[in-house]
Amino acid sequence: MKLRRWLFSILLLLSLPVLAHKASDSYLVLDIKGREVSGQWDIALRDIDFALGLDRDGNGEITWGELSARHGDIAAWALGSLSVRRGGDCKLEVADHLVDSHTDGAYAVLRLAGSCPAGGGDLQLDYRLLFDLDALHRGLLRLGLDGTTQTAVLSPQRAQQKFAAGEVSRLEQFGQYLVEGIWHIWIGFDHILFLLSLLLPAVLVHEARRWRGVADFHQALVEVLWVVTAFTVAHSITLSLAALGLISLPSRLVESAIAASVVLAAANNLKPLVEHRRWMVAFGFGLIHGFGFASVLAELGLPQETLVMSLLGFNLGVEIGQLAIVAAFLPVAYALRATLFYRRVVFVGGSLATLTIALIWFVERAFDLKLISA
């Protein structure tokens, strides 16, 4: 072999991770309800051409005519490299041939239909498409099994996979995101401080420029419910919008705005501007906090295919964490509401402390400084 090749090779290693185009993927969507199977399989025309040869006239172009002439061969080849088992081999057939385009070119779309011997139990899948020709090929599977959605990447190393039927896996995934949601609100001091700043005055009323305790628990509870509900509704909206990719804001802006919201909420306790409609404040700033939750969710890597379920779990987790805070806070605050200790130390002192911390956060986040945190 020639010297040039080795040199060329070193160049390549040191070069950027060249991926250009895209490695070969097929997109397999299977929906199995009981015995009945339906689905869709998108396979790149380039891959089909490499395996079967589609370009009959050799002009480098694949036309619909060239493709449709080989539909029978393509169906046999594809179905021959996929087996689905539920209580035995499921019989699959290609019900229709269409085309579609993905980021890297045109794909043949095979509409699948079929039936399995059993209407329940685990599902076994064996995927071998193209593996003998292209070891980097991957089958990206989205499987709906009796209403629960699961995803998997099928590779030569993991060509055979088993999927559990029933609620377990869906519940597990849901539960996992639920716990993440709870965990996040507990470690997210900015969210807790914001909420507390709005809750601190809930057991008080501001009259004649003085604070005094509310008359009954019902009054405090209603106020808390309004605030918490408004906050929840607002951050659920933006969390969903951001998680679904409909809106995205730079994280620095979001984090700074969250800090600013805590500053304003605490300041409002010290010098009230908004007294009766605190739920509106909760709603307005809740929109910002939702973006903050979304960035955590993005970090966790939301599974695209079970997006809604995971989103719901995460959101619910955040609510549970929030309610736990409220449940711990409200009885104590209510009991102490009439004391000077609550009004001076907890309310004024707490708001002042919150204001200070949040101001530092704001400066750190907005101007990229490190003041207190390591």
Partner 1 sequence: MVPTVNGAPRKPLDDTEVLERLPSRAGDASSRELAAMRAAMTSAAGNPAPAAELAQRYFDLAMARGDPRYVGYAEAVVARFPDPLPASLRLIRGLLRQYRHDFEGALGDFAAALAQDPGLAAAHAWRGAIYLVQADYPAAQGECDALRRLGRSTLVGACLGLVQAYGGQLETGNRTLQQALANTTDPGSRLWLLTRLGEVAAWRGQAEQAERHYREALATGVEDGYLLAAWGDFLLDSGRPAEVLKQLAGWEASDSLLLRLAEAEAALKLPGAARLAKMLDDRFAAARQRGDTTHRAEEARYQLRLRGDAWYALRLAAENYKVQREPRDARILLEAAIAAGDPAAAQAARDWLGKSGFEDARLRRLGQESALAVRR
Site for partner 1 in 52-111 (CB under 8 A): 53, 55, 58-65, 67-68, 96-107, 109, 111
Q: Which of 87-95, 137-145, 187-195, 216-224 is the region at the interface with partner 1 (rule: CB under 8 A)?
A: 137-145
Which helix or strand (DSSP H or E) is residue 96 part of? strand 91-102
Identify which of residues 101 and 160 has a Cβ nearer to partner 1 in the complex.
101
Using CB under 8 A as the binding rule, the residues of this chain from 175 to 214 that contact partner 1 are none
Q: Rule CB under 8 A: is residue 11 a binding residue for partner 1?
A: yes
Residue from 349, 348, 228 nearest 289 by CA:
228
Check: CB of residue 249 under 8 Å from CB of residue 351: no
Query: Contact with partner 1 (CB under 8 A): which of 34, 80, 250, 349?
Result: 250
Identify which of residues 58 and 88 has a Cβ nearer to partner 1 in the complex.
58
Whole-number Å distance between alpha carbons of 281 and 141: 44
Check: CB of residue 351 under 8 Å from CB of residue 197: yes
Min dist CB 105 to partner 1, Å, is 6
Backbone angles phi, psi at 338, to 5 degrees: -85, -10
Q: Which of 41-49, 232-240, 308-316, 331-339 is the region at the interface with partner 1 (rule: CB under 8 A)?
A: 41-49
Min dist CB 166 to partner 1, Å, is 23
Identify which of residues 55 and 172 has a Cβ nearer to partner 1 in the complex.
55
Identify which of residues 43 and 199 has a Cβ nearer to partner 1 in the complex.
43
Which helix or strand (DSSP H or E) is residue 320 part of? helix 307-336
Query: Contact with partner 1 (CB under 8 A): which of 207, 340, 370, 372?
Result: 370
Whole-number Å distance between alpha carbons of 151 and 163: 10
Whole-number Å distance between alpha carbons of 182 and 180: 6
Amino acid at 27: Y
Q: Rule CB under 8 A: is residue 374 a binding residue for partner 1?
A: yes
Min dist CB 312 to partner 1, Å, is 18
Q: Rule CB under 8 A: is residue 23 a binding residue for partner 1?
A: yes
In 121-153, which positions are buried (b, 16+ CB within 10 angstroms) versus exposed (e)? eebbbebbbbbeeeeebbbbbbbbbeebbbebe
Side-chain half-sphere CA neighbours of 178 within 13 A: 10
Query: Contact with partner 1 (CB under 8 A): which of 95, 113, 140, 323?
Result: 140
Pairing of strands 204-207, 210-213: antiparallel
Query: Contact with partner 1 (CB under 8 A): which of 159, 233, 251, 330?
Result: 251
* Two structure tokens written together for 17: 């991770």
Please give the DSSP secondary-structure letter assigned to residue 200. G
Min dist CB 367 to partner 1, Å, is 8
Whole-number Å distance between alpha carbons of 353 and 308: 38
Using CB under 8 A as the binding rule, the residues of this chain from 286 to 345 that contact partner 1 are 295, 298-299, 301, 304-305
Q: Rule CB under 8 A: is residue 132 a binding residue for partner 1?
A: yes
Q: Which residues pair with 98 in a beta bridge?
A: 109
Please give the DSSP secondary-structure letter assigned to residue 176. H
Identify which of residues 18 and 340 has a Cβ nearer to partner 1 in the complex.
18
Backbone angles phi, psi at 350, to 5 degrees: -60, -45
Query: Contact with partner 1 (CB under 8 A): which of 76, 133, 328, 345?
Result: 133
Q: Rule CB under 8 A: is residue 223 a binding residue for partner 1?
A: no
Query: Contact with partner 1 (CB under 8 A): which of 46, 113, 164, 272?
Result: 46
Min dist CB 121 to partner 1, Å, is 25
Q: Rule CB under 8 A: is residue 5 a binding residue for partner 1?
A: yes
Whole-number Å distance between alpha carbons of 67 and 46: 11
Min dist CB 318 to partner 1, Å, is 20
